Structure 1
Amino acid sequence: MFAFVRSPGRQHQTTTARVHAAAGAATRIVEQKMRGRIGPIDLAVASSSGMWDLVADAHRPMFGRRDPQVWQHDRHAYGTTTITATGVLVVINAQACRGRQSEIDKTLLHELTHALQFNRPGARKLIEASIANNYGIRPMTEREAQAANRQVDADERQAARMERHHRQLAQSI
């Protein structure tokens, strides 16, 4: 189910080890609570700057662009999830999590929730349109942008609620 695509250096091995140990259990929790399937994903652990490089690299085959500056809103983000040409990429920010088990677990649950959301009917098309807009390829209308933003807000609320299951995740490993 997971393809681990990248891990940072030894200084972040605590975070990397926890992600490897918890990924399967976190997936089962998210799928059970949300009654859906995540599907195949690429999972990476990266530094703060490396996280956005991975996102930009994932988008290059789809959009012909590679500009990590488009995505570097928050260097302290715990993680991010995006679509790729073949599915979904989940990246955990090892620097932000700093090896803290509860933060790693919350982040995994949060980002895997997004992975499940991205597999819902119509979600991928909306995400592709938003990314193309962000890269300046195909601008969205004001109405389209508002609808996309409403969906992002709803998805974020749902993913934040999933974080409360971090104790269940810790106990299941």
Structure 2
Amino acid sequence: MRFIAHRVGRQHQATIDRVHAAVDAAVDIVEREIRGCVGPLEVAVSNTSDMWRMVVDAHRPMFGRQNARLWQRHEGHAFGTTTITPGGVLVVINAQTCRGRGIEIDKTLLHELTHAVQFNRPGARALIMRSLANNYGITPMTEAEAKAANRQVDAEEREAERMERHHRLLAQSIA
């Protein structure tokens, strides 16, 4: 696993420290609870605007030059995001949104690492690639394919939200 603090100032040091201290324990909890593997992983702490640039940069080797504005609609108050990369999975924690909120950092780590496991399930990576190619306007999906992909995303989001309940266990394991 590679850990990155990307363009965050000293005001976010507590968030960086918490993510760094909790990530290994969070991986253990997620892998044990949902019986999967996160696989090759990069974990980054970034500010809001750079978080989405990191996503686009991760996609660029797979899809070519892409428009970062596609992701700007998500900027709001996202605590984190997870995406595929050419070599595995990237989890980005939003230092601005999580700042001073230790419980939210723990919940976000558990949530996003759940997505990392989901992205390593058989067939998941191909579906994500297909969905991203559709979102980037490279290869359109049929309406039926898009609906099926959206149902899958919704189911995975519910699973990730359920994993957040383990935040107390995570806090205890790093105390």
Please say whether Structure 1 and Structure 2 have the same fold, judged by a TM-score greater than 0.5. Answer: yes
1:65–1:135 CA contact under 8 A, matched in 2: no
Indicate whether 1:84 and 2:74 are aligned: no
Alignment match, 1:101: 102
Once the two structures are superposed, the pairs formed by residues 21-170 of structure 1 within 5 Å of their partners are: 21-75=21-75, 76-170=77-171
Indicate whether 1:13 and 2:6 are aligned: no
Shift of 1:6: 3.2
Please give the alpha-carbon distance, in whole angstroms, between the structure 2 residues aligned to 1:167 and 1:69. Answer: 36
- TM-score w.r.t. the length of structure 1 is 0.97
Gaps of 5+ in 1: none
1:44–1:90 CA contact under 8 A, matched in 2: yes
Shift of 1:69: 1.1
SS in 2 for 1:4: strand
Please give the alpha-carbon distance, in whole angstroms, between the structure 2 residues aligned to 1:134 and 1:42. Answer: 23
Please give the alpha-carbon distance, in whole angstroms, between the structure 2 residues aligned to 1:117 and 1:95. Answer: 26
Shift of 1:37: 1.0
Superposed CA deviations along residues 11-49 of structure 1, whole A, max 9, x for unmatched, are: 111111000000000000000100111112011001010
1:114–1:155 CA contact under 8 A, matched in 2: yes
Please give the alpha-carbon distance, in whole angstroms, between the structure 2 residues aligned to 1:150 and 1:73. Answer: 20
- TM-score w.r.t. the length of structure 2 is 0.96
SS in 2 for 1:42: strand
Superposed CA deviations along residues 101-153 of structure 1, whole A, max 9, x for unmatched, are: 10000000000000000000000000001100111000000010000000000
* Alignment RMSD: 0.9
Gaps of 5+ in 2: none
Please give the alpha-carbon distance, in whole angstroms, between the structure 1 residues aligned to 2:67 and 2:49. Answer: 12
Please give the alpha-carbon distance, in whole angstroms, between the structure 2 residues aligned to 1:49 and 1:38. Answer: 25
SS in 2 for 1:137: coil
